[in-house]
Chain A
Amino acid sequence: DQQVKQNSPSLSVQEGRISILNCDYTNSMFDYFLWYKKYPAEGPTFLISISSIKDKNEDGRFTVFLNKSAKHLSLHIVPSQPGDSAVYFCAATGVTSYDKVIFGPGTSLSVIP
């Protein structure tokens, strides 16, 4: 049973528009969440994170929102650029998972010029 879910395997967005990638989790004890970005033939790279004490974290064009009651987080990319085309992995961890990072299956984002 997957503890971290990304229900959209793929997403296409026009350049300049907003990309919204969604992630749901089942373990209410997760308290730290991360997003990783992966280009083909490369390893994932850390993008942005958020602690459960916050509901929003922003870094340039990237913002992560956390809704603890819904066990849902989302990554917003504004404005989207063609270089953002990649697979995005949502991940979660917490003390009760012994700090093990659990990854979701990923969402492939295509930004169309």
Chain B
Amino acid sequence: EAQVTQNPRYLITVTGKKLTVTCSQNMNHEYMSWYRQDPGLGLRQIYYSMNVEATDKGDVPEGYKVSRKEKRNFPLILESPSPNQTSLYFCASSLSRQSYGYTFGSGTRLTVV
């Protein structure tokens, strides 16, 4: 089944403790992206990647890092999480940047206390 898989689905952590949210897609998509969803703000792009070793900042990149060493994986790294990063996170992929019908993962609910 074609899908984007995120792990974990739920995570509660403490301020400053590094964490990684994994994202993997099995569709051989070139383009991958991370979004966060907050009430009243919709989905805001954190980082995106157009292909392996090609990543760039989205609208809200502060406090996040990403890497794209393999085509299928695009982990989101929070080096020192803070409470304002409490949010619902989605990974998405598409064939290319201009293929706008994204496939989204099921989301990761992160709480930073």
Contact = CB atoms under 8 A, between A and B. Distances in A.
Interface of A: 2, 4, 6, 9, 32, 34, 36, 41-46, 49, 89, 91, 93, 99-101, 103-106
Interface residues of B, number: 23
B111 to A, nearest CB: 16
A106 B42 CA distance: 6
- For the complex of A and B, 9 pairs with smallest distance between CB atoms: A43-B104, A46-B101, A103-B43, A105-B42, A103-B42, A44-B104, A99-B97, A43-B106, A43-B105
A89 B43 contact: yes
Interface of B: 4, 35, 40-45, 48, 58-59, 90, 92, 97-98, 100-107
B45 A93 contact: no
A106 B40 CA distance: 8
Given A99-B98, A101-B102, A103-B43, A43 B58 contact: no
Nearest to B104: A43
Contacts of A89: 42-43
B107 A41 contact: yes
B90 A32 contact: no
